[in-house]
Amino acid sequence: MTPVNEENKVYFIDSDELPPAALERKHALETDPSSRTNHMEYLPGMEVIDSDVKDIVLKAVSEYDYSSYTARDVELALSKDTCSVEDFKALLSPAAAPYLEQMARKAERITAEHFGNTVYIFTPIYIANYCQNYCVYCGFNCYNNIRRKRLSFEEIEHEMQVIAKTGMEEILMLTGESRKYSDVEYIGEAVKIAKKYFRNIGIEIYPVNTDEYRYLHECGVDYVTVFQETYNTDKYETLHLMGHKRVWPYRFDAQERALRAGMRGAGFSALLGLDDFRRDALATALHVYHLNRRYPHAELSLSCPRLRPIINNEKINPRDVGEKELCQVLCAYRIFLPFAGITVSSRESKEFRNGIAKICATKVSAGVSTGIGDHEEKYTGSQEDDAGDEQFEINDSRSFRNMYDDMERGGLQPVLNDYIYV
Amino acid sequence: MDDKLILGGHEFTSRFILGSGKYNINLIKAAVEQGGAQIITLALRRANTQQSESILDHIPEGVTLLPNTSGARNADEAVRIARLSRAMGCEDFVKIEIMHDAKYLLPDNYETVKATKILADEGFVVLPYMYPDLNIARDLQSAGAAAVMPLAAPIGSNKGLATRDFIQILIDEIDLPIIVDAGIGKPSQACEAMEMGAAAVMANTAIATAGDVPAMAGAFRQAIEAGRTAYITGMGRVLARGGSASDPLTGFLR
């Protein structure tokens, strides 16, 4: 295991509220690799599935030398009807930067072929922010001094009503990653409530076993999103210092377990800015590519979150992933995976989201809060004193109605639902 | 000329079936009018909405709605979606789309035959979307399909009649209307399909991705009508190569 390097120090924030023993433990995790568990080893209770996708993806990424690609490789890739893995690698490389406009044009055409001019609108709802992990860049991490909350079922119902009243029909339900405070049954019951108000339900929770995904599917969930954060296992180890999330391979196989459990679709992403974004983008796309080959019926989608500031740490930023780099990654995703959904969240600005929706994004969030139980406050201005704090600071705070109108003004067709639970 | 498209006992004078999923719903009315379409398809999963602007509000009076089972991964799901469509007040028309492939959206012929049988027995007018395979087309006919809808090319690809020869075999051998669906990218290709003897053409992406949606719908109408007229009239012969031989090979026969 690698010691924590200088680069990671930006993430470390000590709270005055932490008891000395906890602080000591935190510092040990941050500075002493031997105080941390083996991140490649499954914990008891974690299901191991028979799958070769991990090894294939890791091998491809380890062999990726993006500096070896030339303008000619990029031109060749852009001239083809079908984008191979090699072509995709060229499109992700620095050599493709001068071709951004051409990539965008090609991506726009491919998106129109597959999705027409539709753009889906959804909203996330965080129902709990308790977390048992220490992921150094995340506002929910267990050492971050924030107001914690887990919504009661009555509160969930109320939040759902507030959101549903806007007209929203698709919801993504999220929790902090705590099996203790937000167990699978709690999430299942919350999903059953959501089913009364929404037509399409996705979850973004801690990875679970196949039988648990099956249970959640029966409760009404059909889409499961799990962000791998970074596919560089060594880097991952230095960022996810404690908790079940530390186990990299169990997280990697989450989507495959979900699909085996009967879920209709799965979402994927690296958190761009944590590590080398070109490698992480390659790994994310190959993760999708190989699961598509094994589960051809599955509806797979990509997200592209960049690092954002969190409560108590304003310094966190997406480092070398500027908007141009992000756009390059997204266009490359579209050209390589024409069929995949692409979601662009409120981490990005209004201008970026308006623009990217015309090129390759197929889904945007609106009316977003990453806090717990504060939708009424956000939507109506009323005060909710006991709301839980946010996971990260959002950038685009447009309401559902404003987003709908802006998308329509951009020549796009906002779609609220394209799904039937059968 | 009394030339009607008959599907499950229902008569249509237009042979252009318009898709609705990929462009702004406020263009639907104009597209239907300029395209002269009497049938418009609608994914039931798209209709499953409270959205204030529903596609249903934009479909002109007198146009037959053809709900499809898009999203179904097997026969069982297609049957459930079709029954939902009936429960939602759609008529008995249903286009079966069963895809077990999210990448190319190629239809699953085997599951499609199963769903066709069940739904035809329940009284639906079943229009199955299929990969052009003669044996499957015969099975669909036995199962009670009202027409067969072979794909011309992968959906959304605008690549035209990539399966031309196999569609021709269906036209020649199957006693049901053959409606060419998916992949038709431009009016000339729609015209060619009609010249071959297709009963109708369905298009969505070609129109949705055009600069002017209603105008392109109008261009398709003209192409489809021209192709149909050419087919009915009986086209002049086409020589494979060379001119007409002046000395017949059989001239020595007495």
The ipTM value here is 0.82
Instruction: Tell me what pLDDT residue A58 has.
Output: 97
Q: What is the pTM of this model?
A: 0.90
**Cβ of B34 under 8 Å from any chain A Cβ?**
no
Q: Name the band, by pLDDT with cuts 50, 70 and 90, for residue B239.
A: low
A185 Cβ contact list (under 8 Å, min separation 6): none
pLDDT tens digits in sequence order for chain A, 422 residues long: 455 566 788 888 888 888 888 888 888 888 889 999 999 999 999 999 999 999 999 999 999 999 999 999 999 999 999 999 999 999 999 999 999 999 999 999 999 989 988 999 999 999 998 898 888 888 888 888 888 889 999 999 999 999 999 989 999 999 999 999 999 999 999 999 999 999 999 999 999 999 999 999 999 999 999 999 999 999 999 999 999 999 999 999 999 999 999 999 999 999 999 999 999 999 999 999 999 999 999 999 999 998 887 787 788 778 888 999 999 999 999 999 999 999 999 989 999 999 999 999 999 999 888 888 888 888 887 766 678 888 888 888 888 999 999 999 998 989 888 888 88
Cβ of B209 and A118 within 8 Å? no
pLDDT level of residue B238 (50, 70, 90 thresholds): low
Among chain A residues, the shortest Cα distance to B69 is held by A420
Q: How does DSSP classify residue A385?
A: T
Query: Which domains occur in chain A, in start order?
Result: 6-415 (3.20.20.70)
Q: What is the dihedral of CA B142, B145, B148, B149, to 10 degrees?
A: -140
Please tell me if residue A164 touches chain B, with a CB cutoff of 8 Å: no
CA distance B172 to chain A (A): 31
**Are the C-beta atoms of residues B191 and B223 closer than 8 Å to each other?**
yes
Q: Say yes or no for a CB contact (<8 Å) between B71 and A420.
A: yes
- Whether chain B has a CB inside 8 Å of the CB on A195: the answer is no
So what's the pLDDT on residue A309?
Answer: 77
- pLDDT reading at B92 higher than 50: yes
3-class DSSP assignment, residue A113 = helix
In whole angstroms, give the CA distance from residue A42 to residue B188: 59
Contacts of B50 in chain A (CB under 8 A): 167, 169, 416
Tell me how far apart the alpha carbons of residues A304 and A330 are, in angstroms, rounded to a whole number.
8
**A66 CB within 8 Å of a chain B CB:** no
Closest by CA to B151, choosing from B109, B197, B113, is B109
Q: How confident is the model at residue B245 (pLDDT cuts 50, 70, 90)?
A: low
Q: What is the pLDDT of residue A3?
A: 52
From B47, B50, B51, select the one nearest B20 (Cα to Cα): B47
**Distances in whole angstroms, Cα of residue B118 to Cα of each of B82, B137, B142, B143:** 11, 16, 12, 8
- Return the number of other C-beta atoms located less than 10 Å from residue B60's C-beta: 13
Are B102 and A117 in contact (CB < 8 Å)? no
CA distance B121 to A45: 48
Q: Is B156 on the interface with A (CB under 8 A)?
A: yes
Q: Using a CB–CB cutoff of 8 Å, tell me whether A116 touches chain B.
A: yes
* Shortest CA gap B73–chain A (Å): 7
More confident call, B61 vs A81: A81
Please provide the size of chain B in residues.
254
Instruction: Tell me if A384 sits within 8 A of A149, measured CB to CB.
Output: no
Residue B52's pLDDT band (boundaries 50, 70, 90)?
Answer: low
Q: Is the pLDDT of residue B188 over 80?
A: yes
Q: Is A418 on the interface with B (CB under 8 A)?
A: yes
The reply to whether residue B50 touches residue A167, judged by beta carbons under 8 angstroms, is yes
Measured between alpha carbons, how far is A240 from A232 in angstroms, rounded to an integer?
12
Give backbone dihedrals phi and psi of A272, rounded to 5 degrees, phi first.
Answer: -70, 130
Cα angle for residues A373, A374, A376 (degrees, 5° grid): 115
Find residues 106-145 of chain B whose CB sits inside 8 Å of chain A: none
Subunit contact B46:A416, Cβ cutoff 8 A: no
Chain A residue with Cα closest to B70: A419
pLDDT attached to residue A45:
95
Q: Report the pLDDT value the prediction gives residue A1, as an integer from 0 to 100.
A: 46
**Burial B234-249, CB ≥16 within 10 A → b, else e:** eeeeeeeeeeeeeeee
CA A354 to chain centre: 20
Tell me the average pLDDT across B52-78.
Answer: 85
At CA B184, angle to CA B97 and CA B7, rounded to 5?
55
User: Given B45, B84, B209, which is nearest A418 (Cβ)?
Assistant: B45
- Are A113 and B157 inside 8 Å of each other by CB? yes
* Distant-in-sequence, close-in-space partners of B132: CB < 8 Å, separation ≥ 6: B150, B151, B163, B166, B167, B169, B170
Give the residue on A whose Cα is nearest the Cα of B76. A422
Does the beta-carbon distance from A116 to B22 stay under 8 Å? yes
CA distance B39 to A321: 48
The C-alpha atoms of residue A294 and residue B183 are separated, in whole angstroms, by: 25
Those residues with Cβ within 8 angstroms of residue B63's Cβ, 6 or more apart along the chain or in another chain: B32, B37, B38, B39, B40
Interface test with B, best of A413, A415, A419 (most B CBs within 10 A): A413
Of residues B50, B99, B209, nearest to A113 (C-beta)? B209
- Comparing A121 with B49, the larger pLDDT belongs to A121
Q: Kindly list the residues from chain A whose CB atom is less than 8 angstroms away from the CB atom of residue B103.
A: 292, 296, 338-339
Residue type, A402: N
What amino acid positions of B are annotated as catalytic residues? 95
Show residues of chain B in contact with A199, CB under 8 Å. 48-49
Closest residue in B to A288 (Cα) is B103
Q: Are B24 and A169 a contacting pair at CB < 8 A?
A: no
From A294's Cα to the closest Cα of chain B, the distance in A is 11
- Name which of A206-220, B182-196, B229-243 the model is least confident about: B229-243
End-to-end CA distance of chain A: 46
Domains of chain B, each with CATH number or no CATH = 5-233 (3.20.20.70)
Is the Cβ pair A114, B156 closer than 8 Å?
yes
Tell me the mean pLDDT in the region B112-124: 96
Is B81 in the A-facing interface, judged by CB distances under 8 Å? yes
Under an 8 A CB cutoff, do A420 and B84 touch? yes
Does B168 contact chain A (CB < 8 Å)? no
**Looking at the predicted structure, is the pLDDT value of residue B93 above 80?**
yes
What was the pLDDT predicted at B11? 92
With CA atoms as reference, the chain B residue closest to A289 would be: B103
Chain A residues whose CB is inside 8 A of the B157 CB are: 113
d(CA B97, CA A162): 36
Q: What is the reported pLDDT for B208?
A: 83
| Averaged confidence pLDDT in chain A | 92
Contact A418 B77 (CB under 8 A): no
